[in-house]
Amino acid sequence: MPAYRIYITDLTARCVLGVSAEERREKQEVVINVALSADLSAAAASDRFEDTLDYRTLKKVMLAMVESSDYYLLEALTERVADLCLQDARVQRVTVRIEKPSALRFARSVGVEVEKGRL
């Protein structure tokens, strides 16, 4: 079976995220990167939209969830996004990396990555 991956790269969202009162006062920017592994051979053979993952809809669902979220830890947010991606039965494995550009002074960003798959 061929290995296919769909990538969503550098998706920007704003959410409440952090431990300190200052961090929680306003929404902060996060940058989301997702790699979805799935068997997309049917889509490759048929060239039909119905046979592939609808990444536009997934993006909208991810943005809605992230932008309405209120987490203390980047780890928790990253885990929830991975779980959301695995709700589509075609997704066999997902890698999610979320970065928080404003987390550390003198650093471009701080990020957490999780890889999850079906049992």
Write out the residue range of the structural domain in which residue 40 sits.
4-117
Q: CB neighbours of 114 closer than 8 A, spacing ≥ 6?
A: 75, 78, 79, 82, 95, 96
60-77 b/e (C-beta count within 10 Å ≥ 16 → b): eebbebbeebebeebeeb
What's the number of domains the chain is made of? Answer: 1
Summarize pLDDT for 39-87 with one digit per residue, the tens: 999 999 999 999 999 999 999 999 999 999 999 999 999 999 999 999 9
pLDDT band at 1 (very low <50, low <70, confident <90, very high): low
CATH of residue 26's domain is: 3.30.1130.10
Whole-angstrom distance, CA of residue 113 vs CA of residue 12: 16
Q: Is the pTM of this model over 0.85?
A: yes
The residue that leads in pLDDT, 104 or 47, is 47
Whole-angstrom distance, CA of residue 28 vs CA of residue 18: 9
Q: What is the pLDDT of residue 50?
A: 93
Please check whether residue 13 is in contact with residue 66, taking contact to mean a CB–CB distance below 8 angstroms. Answer: yes
Over residues 95-105, mean pLDDT: 93
